[in-house]
Amino acid sequence: MASPLYNASGVMCRTREELDAVAGSAAGALITKSCTLLPREGNPEPRYRATPLGSINSMGLPNEGYQYYFDYARQFDYRKPLFVSISGMSLDDNLQMLTALRALNLPCLPEVNLSCPNLPGKPQLAYDFAATAEALEQISQVYPHPFGVKLPPYFDPVHFAQMAALLNRFDGLRFVTCINSVGNGLLVDLESESTLIRPKGGLGGLGGDYVLPTALANVREFSRLMPEKHVIGCGGIKSGAEAFMHLLCGATAVQIGTCLHEEGVAAFARIESELIELMQRKGYQCLADFRGKLKTLDC
Ligand code: SIN
């Protein structure tokens, strides 16, 4: 990748036009909207709101159906890497989509979303460790090529260790994206005394400044516990400073969500130039000079 920055799945990636805009921008890669077997309208509006500190969303996987994104992958020119996000409503759906992707034999990389917090009545799969292990066993059988997973945030060192041990068992699993939004937060408008979004009584996934420390902790712990795998950082990146922090915590590349939604694709060139300026100020020539080299105060 010419740049370590690309879009978070869900932002600028639902339609061909949006994907083309990311492909034509300074982003180093692009990823499609998490797809399901059939097209989905998603949850009722309003379902996304930005605030001075970030965003809340309960989109409910609005997408054009997997065939639309696989068609896009078929005609893409691969001037930069293309990731395809998959988020079936069941394990069987994921297996069906991955089987179809395997048959196409394209150079794109699937990111299996195990962490959508916005489907009423459906808990985030990756909080169920046994179900995650079962899913990865079956995925590895139908898809014997490199793939990744998108994880929800974890909040306890025991859970980091348990999930990392589980993920380390799967050789085909080459990357994990940390983190999806912090699920089921609630933002309240003081004047109207109302929730900001309609679905799920106002509960939704948080992004932006609200989640940066949680994202950094997940990137740091998973990259430390899974040295053979790549960690893609996602959460709270709005300038070169947060991108630098994610890389310092061990991220191979980083995804931009809320900031991209608010600023558009110009965010990629701006954040990249801020990152380069920061590296130059610190005397770093390349990302490997500082990637994963976070200092802690006990050493
Ligand atoms: C959504 O469409 O609800 C967002 C997907 C996700 O957070 O995984």
DSSP output for 161-179: HHHHHHHHT-TTEEEEEE-
Residue nearest to atom 8 of ligand 1 (CA): 116
116 is catalytic: yes
**Token pair of 212 as six digits:** 């940066």
The answer to whether 175 and 151 have CB atoms below 8 angstroms apart is: no
pLDDT of residue 298: 86
Residues paired with 7 in a beta bridge:
256
Residues of the chain with pLDDT under 50: none
- Please work out whether the CB of residue 34 comes within 6 Å of at least one atom of ligand 1: yes
pLDDT at position 299: 62
Name the burial class of residue 244, with classes exposed (0-12), middle (13-18) and buried (19+) by CB atoms within 10 angstroms of its CB.
buried
* CB of residue 59 inside a 6 A radius of ligand 1: yes
Candidate list 13, 35, 116, 259, residue with the active-site label: 116
**Residue ranges of domains in the chain:** 5-42+61-184+208-289
Of 227, 143, 148, 212, nearest in space to 182 by CA: 212
13: its two tokens: 């990636």
What is the architecture, at CATH level 2, of domain 5-42+61-184+208-289?
A: Alpha-Beta Barrel (3.20)
Question: Which residue carries 């110009």 as its tokens?
Answer: 266
